[in-house]
Amino acid sequence: MSKGYRIANVIAVALVFAYGVKEYVVPHIVLASHKEEYQSLMFQCDHVMREHFIAKQQVLVEPSEMAIKNLDASEVSLLTCHNYDKLRKKILSFGVSEPQLSMVGLEVMEEKMTDVRRFVETHEIRY
């Protein structure tokens, strides 16, 4: 075996190893290290979006100074969703898949729900 052939084999093995680390190891490490923060932000964002929707409806149905203040406060709270979106994109950029993130999201919803009715209320938007 020639020296050039051995060097080519070593380079090929190193490239395959590097690819494997990038494609399989890095996403798992990133997901594991950001899972709790992601779940927390996701749950908070879900909550503030619901609160914002309710506040908006309140202004439309019964406009008052208090309703407008509540709407303003709920809009500031939407910054949580911005932080959630930034973290989501960061995690995805490291090769974590959408289905993996969806599973992590479902886990937190299941953990936070105490009964079926509460689960339905979390996903339901009322007019």
Q: What is the pLDDT of residue 116?
A: 46
**Could you say which DSSP state residue 21 is in?**
I
Report the C-alpha gap between 10 and 16 in whole angstroms. 10
Q: What is the pLDDT of residue 106?
A: 85
Is residue 109 within 8 A of residue 119, CB to CB? The reply is: yes
**pTM of the entire predicted model:** 0.71
Q: Report mean pLDDT in 10-residue bins for the chain, 127 residues.
A: 69 67 80 93 90 93 91 92 96 93 85 61 62
Report the C-alpha gap between 82 and 119 in whole angstroms. 24
Is residue 84 within 8 A of residue 41, CB to CB? The reply is: yes
